[in-house]
Amino acid sequence: MGSAGYPWSVRLKALLPSWMPWIRKRYRLNAESEKQLLAMSARQMDRRLQGRKREQKRKIYGRTKPGTLLKHHIPVKTHSWDVEAPGFAEIDLVSHSGNAAEGEFAHTLNLTDIYSGWTESRGLLGKSEVAVQEALHEIRAGLPFRLLGVDSDNGSEFISWHLKRWCDAEQIQLTRGRPYKKDDNAHIEQKNWTHVRKLLGWERYDSRAAVEAINAVYGQELRLWMNLYLPSVKLEKKVRVGSKVRRVYSAAQTPLERVLASGQGDKQQLAKLQKLRAAMDPFELSQRIERKLETVYTLANRRLSPKAAAAEPKKAVEMTRGGKVPKADFSTPLGKPAKARASHIPTAPAASVRLHS
């Protein structure tokens, strides 16, 4: 299902019952097909969809610098998360600098709740400690539960007196991971891909208009689509079978369903979100996100984005006794014909894979 972002088979099977009223309207399934679809196992879904699966992998390089201020005031969290209720979250910044780290450019502040998987994002221009704290304050106001603690990396935008004072005043526990240990923030690193990179790619956004357009997606349709309609699974335990380790996951649930099951959320906000989920068509929601993303892509700085750099002609050189001498400009190396190949970078023209890869 493209409108659901092509979820993993276990998540796909979990979302089908709640999406079925809208599927009936759009695809006019007969009773027999609907029965077969709902009865299909996750493994059978994997086999049927094997031909349509494509994997895109790219190492994500961060732009954060380790902060040196007041580290001894912010404890290091070294143990694994073991929470029984929503409220404890990991936070991180994702840069939108394109191919150039100089100057001011946009970032996404990402927050994910460990217990429920509820994720919120906000775009900001630059990464000053004031802008980060204000974005976190805005995110906190929209959560359907109380924020109890945040865990970050060692970037100077988080390790600051400004954020420390705000957390102390709001009675929010502030912790940090070990330097250069991304596994300490594994939950948010995963969300950085699913909630940010898959949508915005590696383009450069460095204008206030671009940040406003990004927040028009983050703060409205995207948060509802991700948190109300898309189930996810949680790792419960690992079982060793001979030389292999088998992972056991919990039943797939949406973040909203986990918050409701915990009994720890804000009842008024949760009731409002339940009404929205029952009334909104997830297919239409997905299409609205696509239309807004088209607007966002028009605001990217193409000159400093990855595709612009890839399109620059390569300069051939001729070896002489005096050294290398520039010979001519060629779009491809000498003696090698140009070959069409698919880009591994999800830049703006790759519209078909933004929500669906």
Residues 19 and 75 in one domain: no
From 206, 233, 268, the end of a domain falls on: 206
Q: What domain count does the chain have? A: 2
Residues 185 and 161 in one domain: yes
Q: Which two tokens stand for residue 38?
A: 């709902």
Is 311 part of any domain? no
Looking at residue 204, its pLDDT comes to 93
DSSP 13: H
Looking at residue 58, its pLDDT comes to 38
Is 266 part of any domain? no
Residues 20 and 142 in one domain: no
On whether the CB atoms of residues 109 and 70 are closer than 8 A, the answer is: no
Residues 139 and 16 in one domain: no
From 206, 230, 254, the end of a domain falls on: 206
Looking at residue 71, its pLDDT comes to 61
Is 184 part of any domain? yes
Is 82 part of any domain? yes
Is 107 part of any domain? yes
Cα separation, 338 vs 357, in Å, equals 27
Residues 90 and 202 in one domain: yes
Residues 137 and 80 in one domain: yes
pTM: predicted TM-score of the whole model, two decimal places: 0.69
Pairing of strands 244-249, 235-241: antiparallel
The beta strand positions in 19-169, using DSSP E, are 88-96, 106-113, 119-125, 149-152
- What is the CATH number for 105? 3.30.420.10
Looking at residue 181, its pLDDT comes to 65
DSSP 98: T
Residues 13 and 100 in one domain: no
Rg (CA), the chain: 23
Looking at residue 81, its pLDDT comes to 61
Is 119 part of any domain? yes
Say which amino acid occupies 80. S
Looking at residue 69, its pLDDT comes to 45
Comparing C-alpha atoms, which of 261, 172, 276 is closest to residue 220? 276
Is 243 part of any domain? no
**Burial letters 174-209, b for 16+ CB under 10 A, else e:** bbbbeeeeeebbebbbebbebbbbbbbbbbbbbbee
Residues 34 and 89 in one domain: no
Residues 170 and 50 in one domain: no
Residues 97 and 2 in one domain: no
Is 39 part of any domain? yes
Residues 107 and 198 in one domain: yes
Q: What is the pLDDT along the chain (357 residues), one digit of tens a residue?
A: 556 667 778 888 888 888 888 888 888 888 888 888 888 888 888 888 877 765 533 333 445 554 454 666 676 766 566 788 899 999 999 999 998 888 899 999 999 999 999 999 999 998 888 899 999 999 999 999 999 999 888 778 888 888 889 999 999 998 887 776 666 677 888 888 889 999 999 999 999 999 999 999 999 999 999 999 999 888 888 898 888 999 888 899 999 999 999 998 999 999 999 999 999 999 999 999 999 999 999 999 888 777 655 555 555 444 455 554 444 443 444 334 444 333 333 444 444 444 544
DSSP conformation letters of 279-330:
HS-HHHHHHHHHHHHHHHHHTS-GGGSHHHHHTSPEEEEEEETTEEEEEEEE
Residue 111 structural domain: 71-206
From 206, 227, 243, the end of a domain falls on: 206
Cα separation, 43 vs 203, in Å, equals 36
Residues 199 and 87 in one domain: yes
Phi and psi of 124, rounded to 5°? -145, 150
